[in-house]
Amino acid sequence: MTKQPAIELKNITKRFGKVVANKNVNLTAYRGEILSVLGENGSGKTTLMNMISGIYFPDEGHIFIDGKEAVITSPKEAFGYKIGMIHQHFKLVDVFSAAENIVLGIENGKYNLKDSAKEIKKISEQYGFDVDPKKKIYTMSVSEKQTVEIIKVLYRGADILILDEPTAVLTPQETEKLFAILRRMRDDGKCIIIITHKLHEVLSLSDRVSVLRKGEYIGTVNTSETSESELTEMMVGKKIDLNIQRDEPKNTEERLTVNSITCVDKTGTVMLDNVSFSVKSGEILGIAGIAGSGQRELLESIAGLQRLEYGDIFYFDPKTGKKESLRDKNPLQIRQMGVRLSFVPEDRLGMGLVGNMDIVDNMMLRSYSKGHSLFLKRNKPKSLAMKIINDLEVVTPSASTPVRRLSGGNVQKVLVGREISSSPTVLMVAYPVRGLDINSSYMIYNLLNQQKAQGVAIIFVGEDLDVLVELCDRIMVIGSGRVTGVVDARTTTKEEIGLLMTKPKDDGKENGNG
Amino acid sequence: MAKKTDSKKEPLFHVVKRDDMPAGKAWLIRIAAIVFSFLLVGLLSMAITEKSFGETYEIMFSGVFGRLFEGKTTMLWKYLQEIAILLCLALALTPAFKMKFWNCGAEGQALVGGLASIFCMIQFGSSLSYPVLMVVIVVTSILAGAIWGIIPAVFKALFNTNETLFTLMMNYIATQIIAYYVYIEGGGSNVINPVAYGNFPTVGNNDYFVNIVTVAGITVLMYAYLRFSKQGYEISVVGESQNTARYVGINVKKVIIRTMAISGGLCGVAGMLLVAGKDHSINTNLVGGDGFTAILMSWLGQFNPFIMVVMTAIVIFLRLGVAKVADTALLNHSFSEIIVGIVILILVGCEFFIHYSIKFRQSKKEVKA
């Protein structure tokens, strides 16, 4: 059987202001195949797919569906062409059931949940989904929500499916399950396009790989004829060593101890349940877990941003050797106690930095209040900004550019640079390489390793298990706010961590009382 | 599902967000909008009053500046005085706006400030010496305005109430209190006759000198406060992201309340300038809607005090000038308000072209399937 092109892109160009997100991209995807679109963050993968699914409109170029030119100006029209996109961030109504979400927004059809449930069941059986149409979204796990998203587009009759980084939030076991489903859909004659930057997934799943770099189309290769190093070279433009350096911890001593803390959010849900652990100087403690298992609350508790219901946090001062409690202290009080605690939060522009302020003003966020003067002193922050721009190779027009104008990698360099500049004794980083290109990611790993060599106790919350296993000394796994295990990163496997991530509570009780 | 795909055309144009407009070009667009609005004002006035374009502007200038060349400058001072009040209110709102606290209560905060002034003038006018009386007036007016600003701020900080509705409601309360006060003080006439005590001094021949100098001072101070002070920096951080503020240990509640004390206090100053520096009396229409116009002035000035000076100067020029045009043509004052409204709409509207660009369909077609 000859392959039928399902979708063809010709000379697609899209600009955002001066930024060229896509430049003369040509791409073809056939029916009955899985095509990976591979590229670093910021290489224009998502923009390209958004143009196919009607969210953006291309400035130049043409899209052909089944050989005919198509004009797609809205997601609805995209559905008309049987194109369905599964976004990285799910677009579901939390208080609705799976079935309600699936039929939501479909016009000229009768609203009949019973019939829909039947239809959903049929689709589920056909491809091996496991979903209860009556289950409410807010009670679902991330992987279940993703399943609903996929069924949603299938229900609408999509036969070109685009998945944007579908494995970013899944455990290794869930990923395998998803891949099996995608393969079944391929064999059913659907055209599947998956956006990703994870090389091993590309190699294990797809038939062909198209690579984008800085918005430009580099080329397409057959998966069976390529290798990890060739793909990296296409992606980055040069050969790159993908190994992360890891030294043995030196001069370790107790630095921070978390003592059975419990923490509850506004609605009364237990976010951290009796969590205990400690970090030593000169080591990197990794924290793994499904997104939303309490990682954020854990770091914020230590940083003084969460109220603790129970438990305590102790800091061991390296100079005096004194043991000090950080419970019920706000970030300012913690700093005034002489605790050099640095924190690179997950939400860089919403918490770590102020997007509309320039680099200089962001440098003094932590230090502006020092001294008795009513007025700000911008000399030191200015020289610090210049130093970070030079040392970390931040690409910016000037130190007075608002940080939101910088690319993700450069924003992170500014934030990490500032946090390291206060020579911390404890450094907490949450998803520090999320959205970064390969070069920036490796620069961040190197910075963390430098800090480790200087005796800093580092807590690293990550999502990419490959990285956690290669970079950290120990890995603590949490699930639903509880510690489900601590493993030696040098001997563990991804699968072991994956199992711990989804390990059910062993005491059987809901929301244990700490 | 997809039926008429072949006949579909690329849309005529689509709108694209941009944030890379160079500052110079952005200002060129704004200046073009101002020029355009002045042309439109002239043309509209021409159409209605049946005078020539030149004549219309001649009348407008005389309405604002009077007969400058005959040595009488009272009109000019009146122009500056009106700028001063509107500017003072706009400056007062700016710190709150930078904090993304939408203070729509400048009207009420200025009214209670004015109320404090007239109360002191009437109660203590004859008993206190002039310098002491002036100090009392200044302090109580600022306090009154500050309290009117703090009340919604406390509710916002503690219970996260909606500040827009809250401050608007506070306006009505202020208006009613003043109506009641005027009823009591004015006896049956419902008018308070100008009070002779506690008036700002006349400098040279000019009644408004103190008002104008005061607001000029506030302009410079506000610029420095927002740009160079630690408190101004805290305001920006809280406004941009409360999470960031918490992350660095800023006490968000304290900043909200403190900033609204400043905002309300400055509105109180505007009320005082109106009472002690101009009317020497009070009525419910003391501020006359300037508390709302000031919201636009603060925005059009992009929260920069010096740009606000220019914006208020333009708006007051039109207000006085077009009022004169309306007078000569025997139209009522609404004409002036309509014109000012149109101009503000144009000035706000031109921001669209700064933040978005419009891409038209390209006529040529290449590539075949």
Q: Which of B288, B306, B337 is the last residue of a domain?
A: B288
Query: Do B192 and B97 share a structural domain?
Result: yes
Global confidence as pTM: 0.82
Query: Do B99 and B36 share a structural domain?
Result: no
Residue B117 lies in a domain: yes
Query: Do B205 and B148 share a structural domain?
Result: yes
Which one of B238, B244, B252 makes the best mutation probe of the A interface by having the most chain A beta carbons within 10 Å? Answer: B244
Which one of A28, A302, A375, A415 makes the best mutation probe of the B interface by having the most chain B beta carbons within 10 Å? Answer: A375
Residue B367 has pLDDT above 60, yes or no: no
Query: Do B84 and B51 share a structural domain?
Result: no
Residue B142 lies in a domain: yes
Nearest CA in chain B to A343: B247
A354:B241 CB<8 A:
yes
Whether A251-340+423-437+452-505 and A5-236 are alike in CATH topology: the answer is yes
Percent pLDDT > 90 in chain A is: 50
Which one of A106, A351, A373 makes the best mutation probe of the B interface by having the most chain B beta carbons within 10 Å? Answer: A351
CB-closest option in A80, A331, A368 to B247: A331
Cβ proximity of A191 and A33 under 8 Å: yes
Cβ proximity of A279 and A426 under 8 Å: yes
pLDDT tens digits for range A89-98: 888 998 999 8
Residue B201 lies in a domain: yes
Angstrom CA distances, A377 to A365, A466, B110, B225, stand at 12, 44, 34, 13
A374:B367 CB<8 A:
no
Q: Please give the residue range of the domain that contains residue B52.
A: 22-61+316-361
Q: Lowest mean pLDDT of A376-385, A479-488, B49-58, name the range.
A: B49-58
Q: Which of B236, B269, B288 is the last residue of a domain?
A: B288
pLDDT category at B44 given cuts 50, 70, 90 is confident
Residue B367 lies in a domain: no
Residue B17 lies in a domain: no
> What tokens were used for A445?
């790993």
Residue B67 lies in a domain: no
pLDDT tens digits for range B212-223: 999 999 999 999
Query: Do B270 and B355 share a structural domain?
Result: no
pLDDT value at position B362?
A: 59
Cβ proximity of B76 and B281 under 8 Å: no
From chain A, the residues in CB contact with B9 under 8 A are 71
Task: Give which of A406, A376, A375 is closest to A389, Cα–Cα.
Answer: A406
CB-closest option in A61, A70, A351 to B244: A351
B230:A373 CB<8 A:
yes
Collect all residues with Cβ–Cβ distance below 8 Å to A379 and sequence separation of at least 6: none
From chain B, the residues in CB contact with A62 under 8 A are 367, 369
Residue A6 has pLDDT above 50, yes or no: yes
Angstrom CA distances, B72 to A190, B77, B205, B313, stand at 85, 10, 11, 20
A354:B2 CB<8 A:
no
Can you identify the CATH homologous superfamily of domain A251-340+423-437+452-505?
P-loop containing nucleotide triphosphate hydrolases (3.40.50.300)
Query: Do B232 and B173 share a structural domain?
Result: yes
Query: Do B208 and B82 share a structural domain?
Result: yes
Q: Are strands A60-65 and A33-38 parallel, antiparallel or unpaired?
A: unpaired
Note the ipTM here: 0.83
pLDDT category at B4 given cuts 50, 70, 90 is very low
Average pLDDT taken over every residue of chain A = 89
Query: Do B93 and B40 share a structural domain?
Result: no
pLDDT category at A509 given cuts 50, 70, 90 is very low
Residue B299 lies in a domain: no
Q: Which of B288, B307, B332 is the last residue of a domain?
A: B288
Query: Do B56 and B80 share a structural domain?
Result: no
**C-alpha distance from B244 to closest chain A C-alpha (Å):** 4
| Residues paired with residue A20 on neighbouring β-strands, in sequence order | A15
For chain A, the structural domain boundaries read 5-236, 251-340+423-437+452-505
Residue B369 has pLDDT above 70, yes or no: no
Neighbours of A266 (CB within 10 A): 5
Total number of domains constituting chain B = 2
Find the mean pLDDT for residues A373-387: 93
Query: Do B84 and B57 share a structural domain?
Result: no
Q: Does A288 or B360 have the greater pLDDT score?
A: A288
Residue B235 lies in a domain: yes
Residue A3 has pLDDT above 80, yes or no: no
From chain B, the residues in CB contact with A11 under 8 A are 366-367
The class that CATH gives domain A5-236 is: alpha beta
Query: Do B229 and B82 share a structural domain?
Result: yes
Query: Do B264 and B175 share a structural domain?
Result: yes
B369:A64 CB<8 A:
yes
